[in-house]
């Protein structure tokens, strides 16, 4: 249902900010529990994207057209969709301001607008993207360009970048490298290509258990690692990228590197309307209790997905578990009952180390391994590739966005 006939001020019951993976998954789950609930979703985009497959698009293993559907097709029918953007939140009066000057009051608020890709923070990037060999799998518009450029490259320098954390799917920057290198290796071009991975941080992956098996692939592809190296400027026509490099003493120097292919992962930030609101933590993310996902100062507010100021990996798999926690906890809150569920920080990163093989990294808070299957998680497997490339996309559209909660076993509060 859309909202064409409403006036400047809207009074709503449960309001969900965001129609991405978290928003639609949550609304579908909530309505499964109680179809009579009055839920309003505020989402400006007319399209809904399955972003986890963009890495596969950039590796020539997925059709980009299969990663998008109209928002109207995934929005649960019982929900009211306001196609607008939130520009301000006043949690003290329980009121939202929209970009069309309307206001919305709520009884309960679910904050899940996702994060914002800050392309503009890298000088010259926006002018160069999609040409001169400058690309990004973090963009629907450019994932296919990645694959086009990978196929064309027979020699030269390929740079892959990763900005400072937090970012969505922390493994995606290196997945682009692995799938590209695998293609070059199979086509006898890898020996002629100098591959370098520039990471703003000091570790290849945040969970130490997975670093040794990943390093085997870095060595197999003869890729160089440049730690503490953060992309700050791009000149596409000159095929040059500048990095701020930090040494052991914390001194920062600027270093220019030429390239034939540059795969960029942009810095990622909280949207301004969250960062500048009373809901934000010191870093600008939505503050929530890491286990209940309830806001510590505004109990009628819950956070969900990439916007949360929690330490879990920002992935669709994390959302899959969070949705159940917030749905159950919200319904308990509305009945004045104790919140029954807690989130353990679960996230999953299917690391596509070569075309046809994946290391399935599943972990929770503190890097605790939380495998779904009783297999050695550090071993690359064809079964995990099938899960990533075939099963999960199907499950996303036909399960998660329809409120089906498979593989979401959760612990009750002790």
pLDDT at 211: 97
pLDDT by residue (tens digit) across 89-99?
999 999 999 99
Q: Is 286 a catalytic residue?
A: no
Output the CA angle 107-111-114, nearest 5 degrees: 160
Average pLDDT, whole number, for the chain?
95
pLDDT at 225: 98
Question: Do 244 and 137 meet the contact criterion of CB atoms below 8 Å apart?
Answer: no
Question: Do 116 and 270 meet the contact criterion of CB atoms below 8 Å apart?
Answer: yes
Asked, as a colleague might, if the bond just before 105 is cis with ω within 30 of 0, I would say: no
For strands 14-17 and 108-111, give the pairing. Answer: parallel
Closest CA to 390 of 123, 39, 66, 125: 66
Closest CA to 254 of 241, 266, 263: 241
**Phi, psi (deg, nearest 5) at residue 57:** -60, -45
The DSSP secondary-structure symbol of 318 reads H
Q: Which of 169, 181, 286, 308 is catalytic?
A: 169
pTM higher than 0.85: yes
Q: Tell me the C-alpha distance between 180 and 194, whole Å.
A: 12
Question: Do 367 and 210 meet the contact criterion of CB atoms below 8 Å apart?
Answer: no
Question: Do 104 and 98 meet the contact criterion of CB atoms below 8 Å apart?
Answer: yes
Please report where in the chains the tokens 């596969």 appear, as a residue.
Answer: 56
pLDDT at 390: 95
pLDDT at 406: 67
Neighbour count for residue 188 (Cβ, 10 Å): 9
Q: CA distances (Å), 349 to each of 137, 187, 271, in order?
A: 16, 27, 24
pLDDT by residue (tens digit) across 235-271?
999 999 999 999 999 999 999 999 999 999 999 999 9
Q: Tell me the C-alpha distance between 158 and 195, whole Å.
A: 5
pLDDT by residue (tens digit) across 368-408?
999 998 899 999 999 999 999 999 999 999 999 999 886 55
Residues of the chain with pLDDT under 50: 1-6, 410-414
pLDDT at 414: 31
Per-position b or e across 51-81, b if 16+ CB within 10 A of its CB: bbbbbbbbbbbbebeebeeebeebbbeebbb
* Alpha-helix runs per DSSP H in 187-284: 211-220, 272-275
Q: Is 169 a catalytic residue?
A: yes
pLDDT at 4: 45
Q: Which of 181, 286, 308, 349 is catalytic?
A: 349
């Amino acid at each position: 249902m859309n909202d064409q006939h409403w006036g400047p001020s809207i009074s709503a019951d449960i309001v969900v900010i965001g129609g991405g993976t978290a928003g639609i998954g949550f609304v579908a789950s909530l309505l499964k529990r109680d179809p009579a609930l009055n839920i309003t979703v505020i989402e400006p985009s007319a399209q809904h994207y399955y972003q986890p497959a963009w890495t596969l698009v950039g590796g020539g293993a997925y059709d980009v057209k299969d990663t998008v559907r109209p928002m109207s097709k995934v929005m649960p029918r019982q929900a009211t969709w306001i196609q607008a953007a939130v520009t301000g939140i006043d949690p003290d009066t329980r009121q939202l301001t929209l970009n069309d000057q309307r206001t919305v009051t709520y009884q309960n608020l679910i904050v899940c607008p996702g994060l914002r890709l800050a392309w503009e923070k890298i000088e010259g990037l926006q002018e160069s993207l999609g040409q001169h060999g400058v690309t990004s799998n973090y963009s629907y518009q450019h994932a296919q360009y990645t694959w086009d450029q990978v196929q064309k490259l027979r020699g030269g320098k390929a740079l892959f970048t990763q900005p400072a954390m937090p970012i969505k799917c922390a493994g995606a920057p290196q997945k682009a490298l692995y799938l590209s290198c695998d293609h070059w290796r199979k086509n006898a071009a890898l020996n002629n290509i100098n591959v370098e991975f520039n990471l703003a941080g000091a570790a290849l992956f945040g969970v130490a258990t997975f670093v040794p098996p990943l390093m085997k692939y870095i060595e197999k592809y003869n890729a160089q690692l440049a730690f503490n190296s953060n992309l700050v400027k791009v000149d596409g026509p000159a095929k040059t990228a500048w990095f701020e490099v930090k040494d052991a003493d914390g001194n920062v120097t600027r270093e220019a590197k030429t390239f034939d292919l540059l795969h960029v992962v942009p810095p990622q930030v909280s949207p301004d309307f969250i960062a500048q609101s009373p809901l934000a933590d010191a870093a600008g993310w939505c503050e929530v209790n890491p286990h209940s996902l309830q806001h510590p100062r505004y109990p009628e507010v819950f956070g969900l997905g990439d916007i949360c100021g929690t330490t879990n990996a920002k992935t669709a798999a994390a959302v899959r578990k969070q949705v159940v926690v917030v749905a159950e906890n919200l319904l308990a809150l509305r009945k004045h009952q104790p919140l029954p569920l807690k989130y353990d920080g679960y996230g999953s990163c299917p690391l596509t180390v070569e075309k046809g093989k994946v290391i399935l990294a599943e972990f929770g808070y503190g890097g605790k391994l939380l495998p779904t299957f009783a297999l050695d998680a550090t071993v690359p497997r064809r079964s995990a590739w099938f899960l990533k490339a075939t099963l999960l996309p199907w499950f996303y559209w036909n399960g998660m966005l329809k409120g089906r909660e498979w593989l979401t076993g959760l612990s009750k509060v002790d």
